[in-house]
Structure 1
Amino acid sequence: MKKILGVFLLTSIVFSACKKDLTSLNNDPKNPSIVPSYALFTNAQRRLTNTVTSSNVNLNIFRLIEQQWQETTYTDESNYDITTRPIPDDIWNALYRDVIYNFERTKALIPTDVTGADIQKNEIAITDVMQVYTYYYLVTTFGDIPYTEALDISKPFPKFDDAKTVYYSLLTRLDADIAALNTGAASFGSADVIYGGDVTKWKKFAATLKLKMGITIADLDNAKAKTVVESAVATGVFTSNSDNAQFQYLTSPPNTNPVWVDLVQSARQDFVACSTIMGFLKPQTAFADPRLPYYFTVNSAGTYTGADPGSSATFSLFSKPSGPLLVSSSIGKITNPDFPGLLLDYSETEFNLAEAISRGYAVAGSVAGHYNSAVTASITYWGASATAAAAYLLQPTVAFATATGGTDLHKIGLQKYLALYNRGWDAWTETRRLDYPVLTAPSTAQTAFPVRLTYPVNEQNVNVTNYNKAATAIGGDLVTTKLFFDKH
């Protein structure tokens, strides 16, 4: 009897223990079913910065398109082949799925997991600013895109909205976000890896993004651009490099600089300097650009040299993207694991202000003054001195009065191209928009210089009807189809 009772008690204990833990066994600690808004926000910031910073040939090939870098062995992307690898699909998925969707989930969760109406309002506005920023890259890369139905789970085959209409909607959203931001209240705190929850800085970021977006459509709709730009400046835009919006990467994985991951951690020798950008940085008979040793290393012979666009290149014979891990010097840093990723910076802002004045917009200062400030901001950001910047600006090919290019916009365009080194996506938008510097497609290229990316293959195969409508509406799903803003 005692034996039977013992077995019964043991069975009861085991059964009770199992019954008690059944629910908890369904919880996966590595994949929580409930994610707080701040965690989604931080991750979306990281994925966004990784996407625009990456040098992975499956995702971000804009340094190659812009002839800043050149491939050594596999030269498909340098020859404007964007279909052998699923590049459009990967960009589309990264920005829609990993960034915009997570920001949308952040906004939905804030009212239930954040205390304080003013804090909630700030966090929702900041998150929306980040969505606007992300959509900016999609619409200026592809043209017509899913927008009004993009995040509607009841619409698995979303329609593509007119690109200009999307763009103007983004500007409207940005105005609402700026108005909603309360600089007297807090926001995300340390969960915001860019500004640490500083609402004043986010308001300045939003206005600076608005300035950028206004300038982008200057050739499409000058009156609208003028209104947008003047309003942004009145709100208050970046005034120094300390305003730069950057994601500070760490020295150890997994949150390291994607360029370090692609070039150093992988121990690959895929990229060298391109002769196009090298020709601007190191003219044969003039003062070398002080950013040169910060952008690139010397080659095995101790000189700076770049490979021709589209051609294969022996790694040791050409300069490489600079960094102390690739050269015995402390000045290079682009390949450091903790080198920050930039989303928006002061140098770009000053170039935009210079252009605004050149176009006759009511902005304080002079074209030359903002141009000089832009060049100086870029040079000092990379680590060279203000003295070096001043000497560079005295060179006849650089000084605004005599600079290469002839027109104001060409002079601005060339220096902006150089300042946007390591931000190839933005450099691509500027060369499309200003048509300067003129980048000639390699003789071996598959197409002419691409002015857009084709739609993802997945959209062509799955969202067929809406894809066909969009392709027809923009004038053909080709890399040579100019987008709505590209009217210069």
Structure 2
Amino acid sequence: MKKIFALFLLVSTLSACKKDIASLNTDPKNPAIVPSFSFFTYGQRLITNTVTSSNVNLNIFRLVAQQWQETTYTDESNYDITTRPIPDNLWNAIYRDALQNIERSKLLIPTDVADAGVQKNEIAIADIMEVYCYYYIFTTFGNAPYTDALDISKPFPKFDDAKTAYYDMLTRLDKDIAALNTASASFGTADVIYGGDVAKWKKFAASFKLKMGITIADLDAAKAKEVVQSAITAGVFTSNDDNALFKYVASPPNTNPIWVDLVQSARQDFVANSTIMGFLNPQTPLADPRLPYYFTVNNLKTNIYAGADPGASAAFGDFSKPSGPLLISSSIGKITNADFPGLLLDYAETELNLAEAVSRGFIAGSVEDHYNKGITASITFWGAQPSEAVTYLAQANVKFATATGTTPLQKIALQKYLALYNRGWDAWTEVRRLDYPVLTAPETAQTAFPVRFTYPVNEQNVNGVNYNKAAAAIGGDKVTTKLFFDKN
């Protein structure tokens, strides 16, 4: 009897151990089944972090576009993009991180969302976000993986022709705009940008299509005109209420990357650049009402705005810093606040794109009217009053008829450059495309002004055959090789 009992106890113990071991395979912090909306939210956060970041290992476009200047370590301000693996980091941040998460969301939505209308809207919105991501790939590197990019069965993806892929992206936007149905819902609160508002996503897609059309204006005027007119018909942004804002929060980990880079890290790496400061403050203090929202005064003793020369090392205490003084109130706060929102696309840029469209003869209308609306939208977005915009627009060097610049496009280009403060990536693209404002060569520039980024070293080493084909097709893997849209 004792033997039988002992055997029963042993079997029971082993059975219990077996069940316990199996339960250890479940990781409560990493669930095996993740809903589609989680991937979408994370993808939104990843692409916003990438375009917003000021980390010198990732997003150096504020430095290249001479909005900011480094203080001690000036490599990136002098166009050194390879000492740190910046091209690799950007490539990975978009392909491996943002696009992969958004694509995973798209693949899961058909089985994860029961309502057919919601399902259709969510797939279209996710696709719009993918087009947004690819825009920055193709306008930064040139030819790049597209048709093979997110196919895990193709570890060595071919590089698509940038122009061909770009035109396909425009077709995708058309389909997405047509698919969006405001009678059905979408992601709800999982959509950090618009809270699932389908009508706002439709405006976003049309406004981004307008941006894409303007980007290729010098490449293919007929196509650009067609795209611009189609975008306007679909319905673009009409006020700052339409701005695509990613709402960061005050506590980590979902905080504004600039706060992480400048405040949480307690670093003193950046000050204002004299190039942008010269346009913000060309004659008298506060000539541009955005100045106190963009930068601080240099210090409490002299109490003036000052920018450091491009490429030169700069004493942190002697120059203005990113953000604004505490006495300035703003509806969106300071860019160094933990909860300052990331901005993906806005009404100010849309109006200035419309001004350019009129100037190029793509649409009818008044260049000056759109120019004024774009500047006013930028000024009021940052927190200044409409009356301050009126005063600013009355200045001789701002009023469209007499504004700085010798052509209408130069006048628009300068105001785009100023309105795209804190969106250095887009400012860089506008400078490349319109060749204005003319930037000052940095003190110890490593190269000529970079009009593209070189391909990642990892692609050269791992995907060498396709890399070599791509480099040859665009005219060489150099920072001075102009991309498909850059024809000036």
- Same-fold call, TM cutoff 0.5: yes
Mapping 1:246-325, distance limit 5 Å: 246-284=245-283, 288-300=287-299, 301-323=302-324
Percent identity, aligned pairs only? 75
* Contact 1:287 1:392 survives alignment (8 Å): no
Partner of 1:31: 30
Structure 2 residue 117 is matched with structure 1 residue 121: no
**Correspondences of 1:41-440 after superposition (within 5 Å):** 41-284=40-283, 288-300=287-299, 301-323=302-324, 330=329, 333-363=334-364, 365-440=365-440
Whether 1:471 aligns to 2:471 is: yes
How far, CA to CA, are the matches of 1:287 and 1:39 in structure 2? 44
Once the two structures are TM-superposed, the CA of residue 437 in structure 1 deviates from its matched residue by 0.3
Per-residue deviation, 1:453: 0.3
Tell me whether 283-292 or 227-236 shows the greater mean CA deviation. 283-292
How far does residue 151 in structure 1 lie from its aligned partner after superposition?
1.3
The aligned length equals 484
Q: What's the offset of the Cα at 1:330?
A: 4.5
What one-letter code is carried by the residue in structure 1 that aligns with 2:226?
A: T
1:390 partner letter: V
Deviations 1:406-435 (A, max 9, x none): 211000000110000000000011010110
Instruction: Give TM-score scaled by structure 1 length.
Output: 0.97
Q: In structure 1, give the amino acid aligned to 2:313.
A: S
| Unaligned 5+ runs, structure 1 | none
Task: Tell me the secondary structure at the aligned position of residue 272 of structure 1.
Answer: strand
In structure 2, distance between residues paired with 1:481 and 1:367: 32
Alpha-carbon offset, residue 124 of structure 1: 0.4
Q: Is the 8 A contact 1:70 1:307 kept in 2?
A: yes
5+ unaligned residues in a row in structure 2: which ranges?
A: none
Q: Are residues 1:18 and 2:8 paired?
A: no
Shift of 1:320: 0.2
Determine the C-alpha separation between the residues in 2 that align with 1:375 and 1:154. Answer: 48
Q: Distance in 1 between matches of 2:218 and 2:285?
A: 33
**Contact residue 274 and residue 309 of structure 1 kept, 8 A:** yes
**Separation in 2, partners of 1:29, 1:135:** 34
User: Contact 1:451–1:481 (CA<8 Å) still a contact in 2?
Assistant: yes
Return the alpha-carbon distance in structure 1 between the equivalents of residues 229 and 25 of structure 2: 56
Shift of 1:22: 3.4
Q: What per-residue deviation string (whole Å, max 9, x for no partner) do you get for residues 212-256 of structure 1?
A: 000000000000000000000011000000000010100000000
Secondary structure, in 3 states, of the residue corresponding to 1:343? strand
**Partner Cα separation in structure 2 for residue 11 and residue 284 of structure 1:** 90
TM-score by length of 2: 0.97
8 Å CA contact 2:329, 2:383 repeated in 1: no
1:340 alignment partner AA = P
Between the aligned partners of 2:319 and 2:380, the Cα distance in structure 1 is 25
Worse-matched range after superposition: 53-62 or 437-446: 437-446
1:361, CA displacement in angstroms? Answer: 1.5
Tell me how far 1:274 sits from its aligned partner.
Answer: 0.5
Instruction: Read off the aligned partner of 1:77 and give its amino acid letter.
Output: E
1:296 partner amino acid: F
Q: What is the rounded CA distance, in whole Å, between the counterparts of 1:23 and 1:216 in structure 2?
A: 56
Deviation of the 1:23 alpha carbon? 3.0
Contact 2:209-2:227 at 8 Å conserved across structures:
yes
| Contact 2:88-2:456 within 8 A present in 1 as well | yes
2:68 is aligned with what amino acid? W
| Aligned AA (2:296) | T
Determine helix, strand or coil for the equivalent of 1:70: strand
Q: Output the CA distance in 2 between the equivalents of 1:31 and 1:186.
A: 28
Q: What is the rounded CA distance, in whole Å, between the counterparts of 1:48 and 1:357 in structure 2?
A: 31
User: Deviations along 1:147-186, whole A, 9 cap, x unmatched?
Assistant: 1111122211111111100100100111111111111101
The whole-number CA distance in structure 1 between the counterparts of 2:70 and 2:286 is 28
Tell me, in whole angstroms, the C-alpha distance in 2 between the residues paired with 1:335 and 1:191.
25
Q: Deviations over 1:352-404 (max 9, x none)?
A: 000001111124x3100000000000000000000000000000000001000
Cα 1:362/1:328, change in 2 over 3 Å? closer
Say if 1:347 and 1:378, in contact at 8 Å, map to a contact too: yes
SS in 2 for 1:401: helix
Superposition CA RMSD, Å: 1.4
Q: CA deviation at 1:20?
A: 2.4
